[in-house]
Chains A and B, each alone.
Chain A
Amino acid sequence: MKQTWELVNPEGVVKVERLRLSKRPTTLEGKTVVLRWNGKPNGDVFLDRVAAMLSREVKPVRVIKAWEAVPETIEPISGSQELSLALMRKLAALKPDLVIGAQGD
């Protein structure tokens, strides 16, 4: 039976502060690139190859594999904003000009 329904929209609204992403370098020459592996299988293999290609294609460049330099950054599931921020601080302490992360299964 057709009728008119006066309803409450159940979706709710999203209200988040816009995040301003930082500017990136125009070139990686002379810069420090940190590679971050989150511990998911083969992400390290992927980033190892990125490291090799960076060293071959960009000169000079300093590449830091975070999972070797700071093993506690291997974290498949951070679980909270606090832990994510702590992890980011550890990466930032390496003074990178760029962080490349490999995520996913």
Chain B
Amino acid sequence: MQVPTVTVVTSELAGLGKDTALSQGAVDCPFVVVPHPLGMAPAEEVRKKSERAFPEILEMGTGWKPGKKSLPTKAAYPAERITLEGSLHDLNRTFFDAGWSLGLPVEPPTTERVAEMLTGTILPPHTVLGAVPPRMGLLTVELVAAHAAMAGCRPEYMPVLIAALEAMLDPRANWRGAATTTGTTAALIVVNGPIIKEIGIASSQGAAGADHHANVSIGYAFNLVADVVGGAKSPSPDKSTLGAPSDCVAWVFGENEDALPEGWQPLHVQRGFKKNESVVTFMPTYPPVENIDHWSTTPEEHLTWWAHLVSPLTAVGGPCEVSQIEQAYIIGVGPEHASLVAGKWSQNTFKTRFWEAVRAPLSAWPKGAPHLDVLKNKLGPMKRDTRIPVTLAPEQFLTVIAGGAGKHSHYFAPFPRCSVVSKRVGRPGGSGQTAKAASRKQRGHQH
């Protein structure tokens, strides 16, 4: 397949376009950059931009030649050793200036600290977990240990961090899209199983917030890897319009399995794992929508609250990306809401009723929304008042008992084309993996 191309991008997205091409091996690529934006601009203005760009489009289409830049050829392992002189403050300044931190302070990844961190995993340090998009930096276990050290992790956190990174590297997770979008996306990492208590993952009051060492340091280490190795840096190629603190510390919490209503399954069991397995479930998410229902006394009332709070338009998928109707969504049900709902409904009944209630009329779709024909193919004939569901089926809603006391639940919508990915946590000396399996890479049970 050999076809010459010319790519037109707006000025705000030119860096992302060029970085993406470079990460695919296209050292030079024929781009024509036009002033941002095209979207939401009057059609006449867009046509004028087209006319002004036309001579360059023609030139790129017939006269462009690649330059002579070369690609780096260093080995992934061992990572380069560097010597720095100065104070901790100086080190942090140097790291930030080099693009090796997020702006928050880091602990120095000394060779000793990295070696100590490697004791938390049986994976050899040379193991390559994958290439982290968008930069496609090769992620070795040694590098994971370096970032874990920088984030202040303890060695025993390594298996959870590795499982989360493996999930992110799974192509089904589409991390490239989530890491470079203009949307406010971040990593959502939910931990299930015995590992929660073994390493002290917080799973109750305020679990996803501050003051919980394992959660915070794993979330920080995850984002260090994504930013430094993956190169997802703001303002380009990470094009997030506003960004969020979750770009610094990812969402990490354990499911409150102690508060699971009778008969309800924890997230990892919904994903096909056994209850006694330790599992990390990963999804690139938009900021959650919070349900603050303090008043409902029946599941039906509570559901009405949800129905007015979220809709297919909560994610871009409604108007733009019909594929999102095939994805999974995560409902972080607060324990008190779960108790209310489970007093009358099974977990599946809740999902079905949620699916039936949370809809938006077709009239809410913008006039220019693409793929309406595809939507009609999937859902059948529809009129302007036809109520469109978030997903094709109720079971695409996954529930997780999230947080502690309080009447608050959280709805996590995925970025388009980002599947929920779950990975079993391998533990040194534990049941998650054998040394033989580890030598093949940590490719355990996955969904």
Contact = CB atoms under 8 A, between A and B. Distances in A.
Interface of A is mostly: loop
Contact of B138 (A14, A50, A71, A105): A14
Contact of B416 (A24, A53, A79): A79
Given A14-B136, A71-B373, A99 B143 contact: no
B3 A11 contact: no
B229 interface: yes
A16 B136 contact: yes
Contact of A7 (B5, B74, B83, B224): B83
A97 B62 CA distance: 10
Given A88-B1, A104-B9, A105-B10, A2 B87 contact: yes
Most buried by A among B51, B139, B370: B370
A9 B9 contact: no
Given A7-B83, A11-B229, A12-B138, A104 B38 contact: yes
Interface string A75-91: 01111111100001101
Contacts of A42: 38-41, 43, 46
Q: Indicate the size class of the contact surface on chain A.
A: 35 or more
A17 to B, nearest CB: 5
Contacts of A63: none
Given A23-B4, A49-B47, A79-B416, A9 B82 contact: yes
A76 B43 CA distance: 20
Contact of A77 (B7, B135, B142, B417): B417
Contacts of A64: none
B36 to A, nearest CB: 7
For A22, A41, A77, which residue has the most chain B Cβ atoms within 10 angstroms? Answer: A77
A25 B64 CA distance: 10
A8 to B, nearest CB: 4
Contacts of A58: 58
A105 B73 contact: no
A103 B13 contact: yes
A71 B174 CA distance: 23
A80 B47 contact: no
Given A14-B135, A76-B320, A97-B4, A50 B54 contact: yes
Interface stretch (B25-33, B265-273, B287-295, B424-432): B25-33
A102 B33 CA distance: 10
A2 B9 contact: no
B39 A74 contact: no
B83 A4 contact: yes
Given A8-B79, A100-B61, A104-B12, A79 B174 contact: yes
Interface of A: 1-19, 21-28, 33, 39-43, 45-50, 53, 57-58, 71, 74, 76-83, 88-89, 91-92, 96-105
8 contacts: A5-B86, A7-B83, A19-B25, A50-B57, A77-B321, A100-B7, A100-B61, A104-B10
